[in-house]
Amino acid sequence: MTSTVNPVDERAARAPEFPMARAAGCPFDPPPGLRNMQREGPLAKVRLWDGSTPWLVTGYADQRALLGDPRVSADINRSGYPRQAPMPPGGTGVSFILKDDPEHARLRRMVTAPFAIKRVEAMRPGVQKIVDDLIDELLAGPNPVDLVEAFALPVPSLVICQLLGVPYADHDFFQENSKVIINRNVTPEQRSTAHGNLIGYLDDLMGEKIAHPVDDLLSGLAGRVTAGELARDEAAQMGVLLLIAGHETTANMIALGTLALFEHPDQLALLRETDDPKRISSAVEELLRYLHITHSGRRRVAMADIEIGGEVIRAGEGLILANDIANRDPDVFAEPDRLDLRRDARRHVAFGFGVHQCLGQPLARMELQVVYNTLYRRIPTLRPATELERIPFKHDGSVYGVYELPVTW
Amino acid sequence: MKVTVDQDKCVASGQCVVAAMEVFDQRDEDGIVVLLTPEPPAGQAEDVRHAAAVCPALAIEIQD
C-alpha cells in the first residue's frame, strides 16, 4: 500500500485550536485568527478541546445556506457533532435546540405563542416600567455602581421571570447555576450538578403550575403535561432552557453594548438625541451585528456530503458556523468593523438562521429597544468609572460580555 | 407581485410581521405565519422582499 497524505488529513493536523483568543485591546472584534481564515477561503479546519477537527465555515452566505439546509443536523447525540465541552456523566436531558425536526418543531411550537410580535409588543409598557424603576433605584443608590449587577442583569431577569411565571425572589439561585452551565471551564460534574439543580427547581415549579395553573408560559406547558402532550421532564427541560436563554444573552447585550457605546461617543450621542422608534430599532440591529455575543459558533453535523466552494464536507463531519465573523463579512456589510448605528444591519445572524433561529428574538429586540432608548437619555452623564483595561471580559463563556461594568454619572 | 407562505416550514420568528405588517400576521395560538395580502401593492414590494430575505425558515415565496 502506498502512503499518500490526504490533503484534508494534512489540514486537520495543522488545524488551530478553537475557540481562539481575541486581540488585546480589541474586545469587540472577533479573534484575528478567525478573520484571517475568512480571508483565506470559505472553509477551514479547527481543533476542539477533544482533539476533533470540525469544519469552520467562514462566510455569511455559506453559513446562512448551511443553517437552512435539511442535510445538516443540530442533534448533539449524532456522531461527529462538535461539542463545546464534555458531556456530564450520565448525560442530561436535551432540549429542542439540540434536536432535529419533527421532534424539534413539535416541542418548539408549544412555546412560540408568547413570542409572537403582538404579544411581545403588549409587554412593552411593562418592560418600560421595569427599566424606569431600575433606573430610579440606580440613581438613588451608590455612585459609582456596577451596571451589570444593578441594571443589565435585573432587566431581562425580571422580564423572563414574569413571562415564565418564575418567582423573581429565587433569582440568586438560578443566576448562580446558570453561570456555571454556560462557563466552558467548569468540570462536567459541576455543570451536571448545576443543571440538576435547575431541573429540580423547574420540576417543583411545574408541579405547582399543574395543580394551580395561572396565565404564564410555565402554566401553558403544565396544561400540555396534564393533557398528555408533553412529558413532565420535557416541560422542566424547556423551562430551564428559556430561563437561561432569557437571562444571559440580553444582560450581556445591555452591558457590553453600553461599553461599546462609551468607546464610540458619537454613536452614543445618536441614541441620546432620538426617540424615533425606527432609529432605535436600527441601532439595536447594528449593536447585535457588531457585538455578536454568541461567540462559540452554531454547532451542526453534516448528514450527507455537501459541497462548498469546490470542497466537500463529508457526511458525519462536524460544522461550526461562526456567526461572529459572518456579521463582519465585508461582502455583506461595508466597513464591517465600524459601529454605525445608522446602517441597515437587519440581515445579521446574531440570532442564527434556519429553523433553530433564536425563539426569544422578538422579546430580546423589544427589551433592548426600551433599554437603549431610556438609559442614556435618563442618565445623560452616564460614563465608565474605570479604564477599559481593567474591565473583566467573559472570554471563558459561551456567551460573551463583561463580568462587571463600573459606571458613574 | 404574488406571495405564498408555507405554514409547515414556519418557525414563528415573526420577522415577516416586523418587515411588512400589512402583508403578514401570526396565528394567536402558535405564532405561525398568516398571509393577509397575497398580492401586495407595489409600494410594499420592498418590505415584502425584505421579509422573505430575513425569514429564517425560508417559508416565504415571491413571484413577480
Do A379 and A144 contact (CB within 8 A), yes or no?
no
A-chain residues near B58 (CB < 8 A) = 68
Strand (E) or helix (H) holding A383: strand A383-384
CA distance A70 to A107: 18
What pLDDT band is residue A309 in, cutting at 50, 70 and 90? Answer: confident
**pLDDT of A4:** 58
Which of A106, A112, A120 is the best mutation test for B, with the most CBs of B within 10 A?
Answer: A112
Judge whether B13 is closer than 8 Å to chain A, CB to CB.
yes
Domains delineated in chain B: 2-63 (3.30.70.20)
Nearest residue to A349 via CA among A62, A64, A29, A59: A64
pLDDT tens track for A235-283 = 999 999 999 888 889 999 999 999 999 999 999 999 999 999 999 999 9
pLDDT digit string, tens, across residues A314-368? 999 999 999 999 999 999 999 999 999 999 999 999 999 999 999 999 999 999 9
Least CB–CB distance from B13: residue in A68, A118, A357: A357
A123 has pLDDT over 70: yes
Which residues in chain A have Cβ-Cβ distances shorter than 8 Å to B57? 68, 354-355, 357
The more confident residue out of A125 and A309 is: A125
| pTM, entire model | 0.94
Indicate the helix (H) or strand (E) that contains A347: none
Asked if B57 has any chain A CB less than 8 Å from its own CB, the reply is yes
Nearest chain A residue to B24 by CA distance is: A117
Q: Hey, is the C-beta of B34 within 8 angstroms of any chain A C-beta?
A: no
Q: What is the pLDDT of residues A64-104, one digit of tens each?
A: 999 999 999 999 999 999 998 887 665 556 788 899 999 99
**Quick one: closest CA in B to A118, which residue?**
B26
Residue A22 φ/ψ region, left for φ over 0, alpha for ψ in the -120 to 50 degree band, beta for the rest: beta
In the structure grid, which three cell numbers stand for residue A310, read together? 469546490
The pLDDT value recorded for residue A153 is 94
Average pLDDT on A206-231 reads: 95
pLDDT for the residue A92: 58
Closest approach of A115 to chain B, Cα-based (Å) = 7
Q: Tens digits of per-residue pLDDT, B26-38?
A: 999 999 999 999 9
Q: What is the largest CA-CA distance in chain B?
A: 32
Amino acid at position A124, single letter:
R
pLDDT at res. A24: 86
Size of interface A-B (CB pairs under 8 A): 57
Q: Which three cell numbers stand for residue A100?
A: 432535529
Q: Name the band, by pLDDT with cuts 50, 70 and 90, for residue A183.
A: confident
- Region for A25 from its dihedrals, namely left if φ exceeds 0, alpha if ψ lies in -120 to 50, beta otherwise: left
Cell numbers representing residue A257 in the block? 453594548
Q: How much is the average pLDDT of A292-301?
A: 93
Closest residue in chain A to residue B54, using alpha carbons only: A347
Helix residue ranges, H only, A82-153 = 103-108, 117-140, 147
Return the residue of A nearest to B12 by Cα.
A112
B31 touches A: beta carbon within 8 Å: yes
Nearest neighbour of B57 by CB, restricted to A347, A351, A355? A355
pLDDT reported for residue A393: 94
How far apart are alpha carbons A174 and A178 in whole angstroms? 6
Contact A308, A6 (CB under 8 A): no
